[in-house]
Amino acid sequence: MTSRRSGLGALVAVCALVVSCSSGLQAPVAGLGPELADKVTIDGVYGHLGKFQEIADANDGNRADGSPGYQASVDYVAQLLRDKGFDVQTPEFQRLSGSEGGKPSLTVAGRQFRVDQASLLLTTPPGGLKAITLRPRRPAGCTAADYGDVSVAKAIAVVDDAGCSIVTKQRVAVAEGAVGMLVVSQASPSRPVGAAPTLFSPGYYHDLTVPVGVIDPAADAALRRTESPVTLVLDNRPVMTTSRNVVAQTRTGDARNVVMVGAHLDSVRSGPGINDNGSGVATVLETAVQLGGEPQTANAVRFTFWGAEEVSMDGSKTYLRSLSKEQLDDIALYLNFDMVGSPNPGYFTDDGDQSTQTGPVAPVPDGSAGIERTLAARLNTAGVRPADMPLTRTTDYGPFLAAGIPVGGLTTGSSQLKTEVQARLWGGQAGVAFDPNYHTPRDDIDNVDRGALAIMASSAAFAIGTYAQSIDGVNGVPARDERDRSAP
């Protein structure tokens, strides 16, 4: 799980104060859901966790994307699914892993200033980009209205770091005619501390189309003292890493109504990642094993295991971008499982009905609320009272949200602190993180809560089986002819 999700503690606490934000619970339906839930046992799930621990132990203590430990994890998952009769692919994708070779700079009136290269996949022309600098009327530069009657045609736009993402700022500046952009901030892509939470979203650099740099207030002050052209040099070259996803689909079921299930397969470099996210992978993998490659289901089921979630979400994002509109419309829904065995666990459903949102509510694809109800009802049946985890755009379901695909999932929490109310509700220690070992070497097989994992794994299997059987009903999702997806 990417570290940005750890900032959700306040919203989670608000949710817990009302005991449960999940509402409108429906009774579980009979059929494949309960049957599959019974088959996915904690011993079966733990068998996969043991394998991931062995892989990490043999590969410098981690399974990070781009490492031998990650490649071994891919091979283990892919081979097991092939053995169970699935149609398995391991598509490669490229992700940015660094930059090298240049000396980015901004020259103003003969004096050089430091600039951080935000457009990591782009460089300036030989000798740099020479242009005047101009500013919108309102410094954020998030909308055309911020520019008003100011023309930045053929200029470098200078904006501040407030209000919206760097991608939005650049898109607006380019639409206004700018040939480049500078963002004034004490933060930078390499030093994001202090930046607005939305300024540098994961993989933002894929969406920048002109040279973009980040400067500090000293450089900004120099710009304000001149009306002459400046020279922006952004000459670091990108270093790319090749990675793989695992995609396995049943050979039976309606391929125009695909129930898609996913978990990120990579760990951070600082640890083996057994809860984050071996637990989610093991849950999804054991469900696939028990379902088999040719089940008697109404809908096809596609199990996906993502690379690079801890780095950039490029695995899930690149995969969705590789699909045609027809293929995107074939996806009925997406279920995501990330950290479902935390040692001080909570029991959270992803907030498909947006009941935890305290500010403006971003649109959520129709059907997400029904998925939440399905999962919450199962947790209640299992004897735990669920609460909502606010949706974010910084984990692997984010690109599905952006594409207009209904999403849902489960988590037991990460670095957020458990509140007193949550401790009374679920047990465990108040004032301690749901996973105190988050992103550390201690995230190993000895620090996974078997009881929580058993509940979450069977609940995940229940939802997968339920939707494999039918996407209709009160907790269903839009039918095939009602979908209008677009690549994220």
Evaluate whether 27 touches 377 at the Cβ level (below 8 Å): yes
Do you know the residue count of the chain? Answer: 488
Alpha helices in 84-189 (DSSP H): 144-147, 166-175
Q: Domain of 116?
A: 102-235
pLDDT at 30 over 60: no
179, 201, 235 - which closes a domain: 235
Task: Report if residue 354 sits inside a domain.
Answer: yes
Same-domain pairing of 70 and 40: yes
Task: State the catalytic residue, choosing from 309, 310, 326, 372.
Answer: 309
Residue 401 burial by Cβ neighbours in a 10 Å radius (0-12, 13-18, 19+): buried
Local confidence band at 198 (pLDDT 50, 70, 90 cut-offs): confident
Q: Is the preceding omega at residue 277 within 30 degrees of 0, hence cis?
A: yes
Local confidence band at 394 (pLDDT 50, 70, 90 cut-offs): confident
Same-domain pairing of 170 and 318: no
206, 235, 264 - which closes a domain: 235
Same-domain pairing of 26 and 126: no
Residue keyed to tokens 């290269």: 117
Q: How far is CA 343 from the centre of its chain?
A: 22
CATH number at residue 215: 3.50.30.30
What is the Rg, in whole angstroms, of the alpha carbon atoms belonging to the chain? 24
Question: Which residue from 425, 180, 203 is spatially nearest to 307, judged by alpha carbons?
Answer: 203
Task: Report if residue 284 sits inside a domain.
Answer: yes
Task: Report if residue 145 sits inside a domain.
Answer: yes
CA distance 136 to 182: 12
Same-domain pairing of 327 and 413: yes
Residue 1 pLDDT: 76
Strand pairing class (331-337; 387-389): unpaired
Local confidence band at 196 (pLDDT 50, 70, 90 cut-offs): low
Residue keyed to tokens 């500010």: 359
CA distance 20 to 403: 29
Residues 6+ apart with CB under 8 A from 118: 166, 183, 188, 189, 200, 204, 205, 208, 212, 213, 214
Token pair listed for 226: 């001149």
Evaluate whether 136 touches 162 at the Cβ level (below 8 Å): no
For the stretch 213-239, pLDDT in tens is 999 999 999 999 999 999 999 999 998
Same-domain pairing of 190 and 129: yes
Residue 371 pLDDT: 98
For the stretch 323-333, pLDDT in tens is 999 999 999 99
In the chain, the number of structural domains is 2
Task: Report if residue 487 sits inside a domain.
Answer: no
pLDDT at 475 over 60: yes
Question: Which residue from 208, 209, 213 is spatially nearest to 185, judged by alpha carbons?
Answer: 213
> Which string of b and e fits 324-354 if b means at least 16 CB within 10 Å?
eeeebbbbbbbbbbbbbbbbbbbbbbbbbbb
Same-domain pairing of 282 and 418: yes
235, 252, 268 - which closes a domain: 235
Concatenating the DSSP letter of every residue in 178-215 gives -SEEEEE-S-BTTB-TTS-TTTS-TTGGGG--S-EEEE
CA distance 163 to 160: 9
Q: Is position 176 annotated as part of the catalytic site?
A: no
Which amino acid, residue 179?
Answer: V
Residue 259 pLDDT: 98
Residue 360 pLDDT: 66
CA distance 481 to 478: 8
CATH number at residue 257: 3.40.630.10
Question: Which residue from 334, 317, 109, 340 is spatially nearest to 228, judged by alpha carbons?
Answer: 109
Evaluate whether 307 touches 246 at the Cβ level (below 8 Å): no
Same-domain pairing of 63 and 125: no
Task: Report if residue 488 sits inside a domain.
Answer: no
CA distance 322 to 377: 35
Q: Which of the residue ranges 149-158, 262-271, 308-317 would you say has the lowest mean pLDDT?
A: 308-317
Residue 21 pLDDT: 41
Residue 11 pLDDT: 37
Local confidence band at 250 (pLDDT 50, 70, 90 cut-offs): very high
**67 Ramachandran zone, left/alpha/beta (phi>0; psi -120 to 50):** beta
Q: How far is CA 86 from the centre of its chain?
A: 26
